[in-house]
Structure 1
């Protein structure tokens, strides 16, 4: 699939405006940049945007999106937009649009973390536009996959499947780690829509690709064995195998880097909920205890919701001392905006 303007517009999950407020429409308007009204752009500025995106991503992993997203949004408006207007040689202009698309994708990802789904879609669509204009297939595919993740987490399985397939189709020559990255999401979306055979086929494809990727030195993004094992857990759960999902989630946490606090809170919370679902209250409380240890260190809407769910699931078990103690501990840590 060619990342053209038509394909960008067709990738929209819901009907939303294509532009983030105060952003110019970049696609098809490269010739309209007002030469001379902004500084001349070079690769050092592009490298700076790339480095800033990496730093913001690290902050997001450690502390959640609530603090990091406003920083990214301000950087986009105050620094990156003027760069996009600056006079520059064509290769530099394309490189800047590519860097901007990656930052826009990250900002959308953090908006999802805050539960601002409409805003996230606007950032995602702008990332697609910029990636298409700069011929950046990697960010284009990554953004489509991010939209699929958003859809599947909201329970929109058909949209998630369509977007995951579009991401895979846009990257026919993907290397093994990228293929695992895409196929894992296809497996999750297929499982949510009841496509058992397809889900297992995609999962096997992801596993095979990851085996090849792990034998190579270069790493793609953050997709690693922990991410794949998470997808295995999600496929098991969607297909009704809760015990299999619990085992895979436990393995995923063992493989996950401890600095990814926000992800750990979310996925440990899922694990605890599923442990309770199969009647393992003590194991669930132990897992939720780890959640409560990490939770004060992150600022995340998704993590807030995970803790709210934990308290709701514990209420029927408050006569059990371990559940009562955990409930009271969590109640003292939870922000006032959460229900009591």
Structure 2
């Protein structure tokens, strides 16, 4: 802000403006953008070549050109571990053709045969099983306490797996399990970084995770990681990217269990809803409902456990919200909130806020305000930058009156 103040005058020094650029999606005025461009050496005629903030040279670029084999996976993991923890800026850096091309490569390249790596102690399947047994606890921590509190622990666990891969020897079967572990830990680290508003960090983890899932030969896990990358596109209003990646995940998952197929179909339904394709969105919701109705099976991957009846209703509600069908959206979101467990405060918060948005659009501002108060209480329990941003955005649509002042006071403690 000091830079802008020198070039554009003292009124630009208000630091909350920068916070709004990063977290509320506010685009700086032309004078401010010109000041930033001048300081960063960006020609004025290039300002409109890319939308804000993609033109900004923030940090190191995110690589997505690693080879689709074990050496490529290891290089991707090395780039992610540590570097992702240093990312601070709340922007996506991998966008457009680069992001879509990365997803297409995953879809089209066959899994390479793994080679055992020598150089350290021999790793057994029992050792891998002990590490795998700790992953559900990490998932629970991320859900219960939010990304800001748990990402360092998950990054450390991922770093330990990477070190084992680099310095130990193991069979091909053990190598596949280790890469599968790295993929799931990278997916989880990416998601909690995403939740904390650290979008570049999330992309670094996810790129490495997709490579690891590919090396492990686990198409379903790779599709689940791409599903998360697609959701990040949605949050940034990149709906064409959302659709491209969600479709790639759906088509490339391979032979999966019914619940996994239903989860991927729901995400694709949301992608079609985001581009106002009513027929295709509803068709995929029907497919997802059919798959989900087939129940669980012994072959369900462990990470699919989150996709329960509450989550299905929540995703259907978001589809109808994007399609403008407020009454159906409200019914599904209400059903979702009735079914969420107390151990899922992040999800509860998200859909309380989304239902508040629906209630306000239906003309029920008081009901919307009550829902937002409940959401604030849950954010205090499980901090989430994404949920704070959503809550502030919905609050800004509520009518201004004295009954909102207590909500604003509570919000100020979250956004200060």
> TM-score band, normalised by the shorter chain?
0.7 to 0.9
- Unmatched runs of 5 consecutive residues or more in structure 2: 1-53, 55-60, 65-75, 82-110
Q: Which residue of 1 aligns with 2:251?
A: 169
Deviation at 1:184, TM superposition (A): 0.3
Match of residue 277, structure 1, among 353, 356, 361 = 361
Deviation at 1:95, TM superposition (A): 0.9
71 and 271 in structure 1: CA distance in 2 versus 1, 3 angstrom threshold: same
Deviating runs (4+, > 6 A) in structure 1?
A: none
**Conserved? CA contact 2:259–2:292, under 8 Å:** yes
Deviation at 1:310, TM superposition (A): 4.8
Q: Which residue of 1 aligns with 2:91?
A: none
Deviation at 1:334, TM superposition (A): 2.0
Match of residue 66, structure 1, among 143, 148, 160 = 148
287 and 185 in structure 1: CA distance in 2 versus 1, 3 angstrom threshold: same
**Conserved? CA contact 2:115–2:172, under 8 Å:** no
Match of residue 414, structure 2, among 328, 334, 338 = 334
Q: Which residue of 2 aligns with 1:94?
A: 176
**Conserved? CA contact 2:257–2:299, under 8 Å:** no
Q: Which residue of 1 aligns with 2:234?
A: 152
Q: Which residue of 1 aligns with 2:121?
A: 39
Match of residue 208, structure 2, among 126, 139, 147 = 126
193 and 125 in structure 1: CA distance in 2 versus 1, 3 angstrom threshold: same
Deviation at 1:32, TM superposition (A): 8.3
276 and 177 in structure 1: CA distance in 2 versus 1, 3 angstrom threshold: same
Match of residue 288, structure 2, among 196, 206, 221 = 206
Q: Which residue of 1 aligns with 2:62?
A: 16
Q: TM-score when scaled to structure 1?
A: 0.85
Deviation at 1:225, TM superposition (A): 1.2
Query: Deviations along 1:157-212, whole A, 9 cap, x unmatched?
Result: 22111111111222242221011101000100011112211111001111111111
31 and 116 in structure 1: CA distance in 2 versus 1, 3 angstrom threshold: same
Deviation at 1:66, TM superposition (A): 0.7
**Conserved? CA contact 1:57–1:106, under 8 Å:** yes
Deviation at 1:39, TM superposition (A): 2.3
Matched, 1:257 2:341: yes
Q: TM-score when scaled to structure 2?
A: 0.70
**Conserved? CA contact 2:79–2:204, under 8 Å:** no
Q: Which residue of 1 aligns with 2:221?
A: 139
Deviation at 1:75, TM superposition (A): 2.2
**Conserved? CA contact 1:105–1:123, under 8 Å:** yes
Alpha-carbon distance in 2 for matches of 1:289, 1:197:
36
Alpha-carbon distance in 2 for matches of 1:183, 1:171:
11
Alpha-carbon distance in 1 for matches of 2:415, 2:276:
37
Q: Which residue of 1 aligns with 2:138?
A: 56
Deviation at 1:28, TM superposition (A): 6.5
Alpha-carbon distance in 2 for matches of 1:92, 1:329:
50
Alpha-carbon distance in 2 for matches of 1:326, 1:115:
23
Q: CA RMSD in A?
A: 2.4
Deviation at 1:45, TM superposition (A): 2.7
Query: Deviations along 1:225-281, whole A, 9 cap, x unmatched?
Result: 111111211111111112321221111111111211111112111111221122101
Q: Greater RCO between the two (CA within 8 Å, min separation 6)?
A: 1
How many residues are treated as equivalent by the alignment?
313
